[in-house]
Amino acid sequence: MADLKAEPAALAATPQEPVTATPIPASTSASEPKEAQQQEGDTKEQAASMKGSRTPPKAMYIDKTQPQDFDGELATTDELPSLEMLSKIENNIVLDRDGKTHTFQSLYSGRNVARRVLVLFVRHFFCGNCQEYLRSVSESITPNALLRLPVSTFVVVIGCGDPALIDMYVEATGCPFPVYTDPTRSLFDELGMVKTLALGSAPAYMKKSMTKSIIDSIGQVLRFAPSGLALKSGDKRQVGGEFLFEPLDVVTPITTPRDEQHKTGSLDHPDHGGHEDRGPIEVKRVTWCHRMRTTRDHAEIPEMMEILGLDGQGEPIKDKKRWSKAVQMRKGTGLSLANQMSELREADAKAS
């Protein structure tokens, strides 16, 4: 079991105006050379301070001509994690709703785990944006829909707050999939997910107004204030992403009857992936991923259904412009096994 990594301290620095030494006029006074020496020392001290600062020389420019809820997107990448990276983090620890530890690998690979696993990384547990996202996911990507796929497929969710808040999170979102947490955010860091408070443009999965989402979040915070959990939902600046783990091939590996019984990922059991030390482990890789650039930048539902191989595009919203964008735009990178699964279904249909 890997040790939990400490959260890195955030560094902040304020740019300073360059300091110009005032010329010292010639004088026979004994005090003036001392003043000049003092001023020169102050100047060197300030210059050294500026040299050690991590703040870029130019302050970030924010275009205020954009809508009030837009502060731009944070530059990041959707490069697929390598097998070497997955090997490095496979033993990182996540916690379930009861505070029990699980290795990260146990969530997407093992005897009792589906062959394809979509891992959704969300923000802090009081985030109304991510709660809306999970509600939309739960409406369109159901366990029953996943069971109809020719290759066993499952979904897990990972947050970054206290595990004692997971039950509240599941209740608020109606999420039918297991929720875990990575309080140290080591997985977030290693997989390249970034920190930002920028809202970005409103996605189609946001059905509540921003005002209503904020009010609901405040209500949740107040509800947990007496227990001391109000400040333990996770780092407010941390954003997440989506990572699809798939086998190297769609061909079903040799399994035992017990393996076949559980290959759907224990859909009716909250301890999905809890038996990580039993049975053979199939090699998995990330075939598709997306990292959020703003606090409401999850991949839209039509894209998620497409990469999973599900029929349809989800439930349309009233805002036709936003919905049209969600249907057409693709945020993630990679190529899932969805096309191969479609060919497999067609072959089975012809054979029958």
Task: Write down the domain spans for the chain.
Answer: 83-351
- Give helix then strand counts, H and E, for the chain: 12, 8
The one-digit pLDDT tens for each residue of the chain (352 residues) are 444 444 443 433 444 444 444 444 444 444 444 444 554 555 444 444 444 444 444 443 334 344 443 455 566 778 999 999 999 999 999 999 999 999 999 999 988 899 999 999 999 999 999 999 999 999 999 999 999 999 999 999 999 999 999 999 999 999 999 999 999 999 999 999 999 999 999 999 998 888 888 898 898 899 888 888 999 999 999 999 999 999 988 886 644 334 444 444 444 444 444 445 556 788 899 999 999 999 999 999 999 999 999 998 888 888 888 889 988 999 999 999 998 988 887 777 778 7
Give me the helix-helix angle, 320-328 and 301-308, nearest 10°.
30
Give the model's pLDDT for residue 227: 86
Both structure tokens of 20: 């110009």
Residue 166 Rama label (left phi>0; alpha psi -120 to 50; beta): alpha
Contact between 336 and 292 under an 8 Å Cβ cutoff? The reply is no
What pTM does this model have? Answer: 0.72
C-alpha to C-alpha distance for 20 and 29, rounded to whole angstroms: 23
Contact between 207 and 270 under an 8 Å Cβ cutoff? The reply is no
For 6-20, give the DSSP string: PPPPP------PPP-
Give me the helix-helix angle, 128-140 and 210-223, nearest 10°.
100
Contact between 157 and 122 under an 8 Å Cβ cutoff? The reply is yes
Residue 114 Rama label (left phi>0; alpha psi -120 to 50; beta): beta
Residue type, 80: L
For the domain bounded by 83-351, which CATH number is listed? 3.40.30.10
Backbone φ, ψ for residue 222 (5° rounding):
-65, -35
